[in-house]
Amino acid sequence: MIEMPEAKTIARQMDETLTGKTFQHFSRGPLIHKFLWLTKPAEEYDAFLSGRKVTGATSYGRSIYLCVDETHLLWFGELGGRILYYPVGQPLPGKYHLRWDFTDASAMIFSLQMWGFVGLLEKSELRSHPHAEVGIPPLSEGFTQECFDQLLEAYPEKAKKGIKGFMVTSQFINGIGNGYLQDILFRAKIHPQRKIPTITEAERHQLYDAIQATMSQAITLGGREDERDLFDNSGGYRRLMSSQTAGNPCPTCGTMIQKISYLGGACYVCPLCQV
Ligand SMILES: [Zn+2]
């Protein structure tokens, strides 16, 4: 799934590459996916977008916003898959779910994995939309240690669920998914099942620092290696704790990295370093 570092990378590339282009045509591709959500019928996307210009791209947490004229947005919400740009002359693949053609004969496609949301809406509708992004992104101005501590306190399930629940399912923080979470918890030396009331003040600082360090490093490296950018390049961030490293020695202490299932998705932990 696209998390904040991938969203920032793709948004920056869209801004640099697509700004100034004019949409010629929008269409669904040859593949159908029941977990791909649009906010209107595809024909309405095509009728609206044709002849309109890309005026920039931004991101917020895990969402990417491609600006259409001054008034509208294409909103790539919570999604997994590839958003790929095809310059003039580069043949498109045979299989994809959505396609945008530009008047200069370049194109962009979206191939979905898991699920995804691609909305077309007015900028003014964004915050009031039922799927509006909530939560604060790491590295944003308001995401201070104090803010983080307050959110931990406010988590209604803090006595029932481990820290993983707060980090990826509570919607308090926007942009961290199960992928980067593994490295964040490893760097903070905290086990995903650890309950918030047992986390000490010093550990809260370790956790906050691990979030900021992991996210900024991943953004600098263009996302993680198992995701692709707009040009189909892998990111440069190699995860310490993942399916690729399970069974290998922990980089700190040499204990074998374990895979456990917890709250809908695998976790990778060092049973000695993470308590
Ligand atoms: Zn270890």
What's the 217 CA to ligand 1 centre distance in angstroms? 21
* pLDDT tens across the length of the chain (275 residues): 999 999 999 999 999 999 999 999 999 998 888 889 999 999 999 999 999 999 999 999 999 999 999 999 999 988 899 999 999 999 999 999 999 999 999 999 999 998 889 999 999 888 787 777 789 999 999 999 999 999 999 999 999 999 999 999 888 999 999 999 999 999 999 999 999 999 999 999 999 999 999 999 999 999 999 999 999 999 999 999 999 999 999 999 999 999 999 998 899 999 999 99
Match 């919607």 to its residue by tokens.
171
Amino acid at 7: A
Residue 114: what pLDDT?
85
- Cβ(57)–Cβ(127) below 8 Å: no
What's the 268 CA to ligand 1 centre distance in angstroms? 11
3-state SS class at 7: helix
What's the 259 CA to ligand 1 centre distance in angstroms? 13
Amino acid at 233: N
Backbone torsion region of residue 109, taken as left when φ is above 0, otherwise alpha when ψ lies between -120 and 50, otherwise beta: beta
What's the 187 CA to ligand 1 centre distance in angstroms? 10
What's the 189 CA to ligand 1 centre distance in angstroms? 9
What's the 274 CA to ligand 1 centre distance in angstroms? 7
What's the 269 CA to ligand 1 centre distance in angstroms? 8
DSSP at 90 = P
Residue 128: what pLDDT?
81
Torsion of CA 270, 178, 81, 51, to 10 degrees: -140
What's the 50 CA to ligand 1 centre distance in angstroms? 55
DSSP-assigned beta bridge partners for residue 224: 237
What's the 116 CA to ligand 1 centre distance in angstroms? 35
What's the 204 CA to ligand 1 centre distance in angstroms? 19
Cα first-last separation, the chain? 27
State the DSSP string of 97-162. SEEEEETTS-EEEEEEES-EEEEEEEGGGTTTSTT---SB-TTSTT--HHHHHHHHHH-TTTTTSB
Residue 225: what pLDDT?
96
What is the pTM for the complete model shown? 0.95
Residue 92: what pLDDT?
95
What's the 80 CA to ligand 1 centre distance in angstroms? 30
C-alpha to C-alpha distance for 259 and 173, rounded to whole angstroms: 24
- Token pair listed for 261: 């299932």
What's the 270 CA to ligand 1 centre distance in angstroms? 5
What's the 184 CA to ligand 1 centre distance in angstroms? 14
DSSP at 224 = B
Nearest to 116 by CA among 97, 137, 138, 135: 97
What's the 10 CA to ligand 1 centre distance in angstroms? 33
What's the 52 CA to ligand 1 centre distance in angstroms? 54
What's the 245 CA to ligand 1 centre distance in angstroms? 12
Match 């370790």 to its residue by tokens.
206
- Cβ(184)–Cβ(163) below 8 Å: no
Amino acid at 78: E
